[in-house]
A and B are shown apart, each in its own frame.
Chain A
Amino acid sequence: MRFLTAALAGLLFGLGLLLAGMTNPAKVLAFLDVAGAWDPSLALVMLGAIGVSLWPMQWTKKQAKTLLGSSLHMPTQRRVDQRLIFGSLLFGIGWGLTGICPGPAVSLLLSGQGAIALFFISLITGMGLFRVLERLFPHW
């Protein structure tokens, strides 16, 4: 059952990205380009997504188990630290360069866009680089 819900959740998420326009870098960049010809559409994507998930997320917070009876794996970190801020700023620079973030990168892999493979390989390399950096600067 949990594999069925996992597959359905991933599929819905991916179809949503496609319908919303998140898999079109030009559209994402038009949202980020507030000083140019601004396309506010993606604000509505966030509004819709948060609107739908607000109640389920709040409900989940108060539960001890999932609807299927398995244990919850929700984030426990509360502290706003330099890693969060530094990481988010770096991520934003990368996102602003091409308009591609991790979700759409996965959803675009099989749609025949050769360029996406280049992004995806770099993304995985970046995640590997993080592990090296963590070992070099463990207190950061």
Chain B
Amino acid sequence: MQIDWSQFTPWTALAGGLLIGLGASLWALCNGRIAGISGLIASLLERQSDGLAEKAVFLGGLLVAPLVWSLWAPLPAFNLPVAEILLIPAGLLVGVGTRYASGCTSGHAVCGLARLSLRSLVATLCFMASAVGTLYVIRHVLGG
């Protein structure tokens, strides 16, 4: 393992994490829900009657965040270092996988871990391991 200190951004990472945590906390304290983005998208798709409007508003806030950001500062870099065609299998796997797992990075690795949920700990370990493994195969075995 070799740490790339030139790319390490501890302060913005920590501050960004604090904002994510604040958003998740506000949503839990005031709306009584888990800020799990895959679950929120799914309940909108399935038009579940429970809290549909407030869920849509939460996702609306998430959606316009870059517009609000760009009022004050240029948007942070976006760099996709892989072939665009990979977005299709990636999206499909993330869609099916997060439904079977009832959660993604936000629901399990942030909210679930903060709730000290065993399910979320297992989920986080599984998707971290398979993400690291997948990237390892692509970058260091296949040499893409």
Contacts and interface: CB of A to CB of B under 8 A. Distances in A.
**Interface residue tally on B, bucketed by range:** 35 or more
B123 to A, nearest CB: 4
Contacts of B37: 101-103, 105-106
A24 B61 contact: no
A97 interface: yes
Interface residues of A, number: 117
Interface string A6-43: 11111111111111111111110110111111111111
A8 B30 CA distance: 11
A90 B93 contact: yes
For B80, B82, B116, the residue with the greatest tally of chain A CB atoms inside 10 Å of its CB is B80
A102 B106 contact: yes
Given A51-B21, A74-B32, A90-B100, A126 B94 contact: yes
A42 B41 contact: no
A118 B51 contact: no
B142 interface: no
A90 to B, nearest CB: 3
B138 to A, nearest CB: 7
Interface in A96-111: 96-103, 105-111
A139 interface: no
A99 to B, nearest CB: 8
Nearest to B80: A25
Given A23-B78, A97-B138, A48 B61 contact: no
27 contacts: A6-B54, A8-B26, A10-B58, A13-B27, A14-B63, A20-B13, A24-B78, A29-B82, A38-B4, A56-B28, A57-B114, A66-B32, A73-B51, A74-B32, A90-B96, A90-B100, A91-B97, A91-B130, A92-B127, A92-B130, A93-B93, A94-B92, A99-B82, A103-B37, A103-B62, A118-B84, A122-B90
Given A37-B7, A44-B14, A93-B130, 19 more contacts: A3-B57, A9-B58, A11-B64, A13-B58, A15-B19, A16-B22, A32-B131, A41-B10, A51-B18, A90-B100, A92-B127, A92-B129, A101-B37, A101-B105, A108-B78, A111-B70, A124-B95, A126-B95, A130-B100
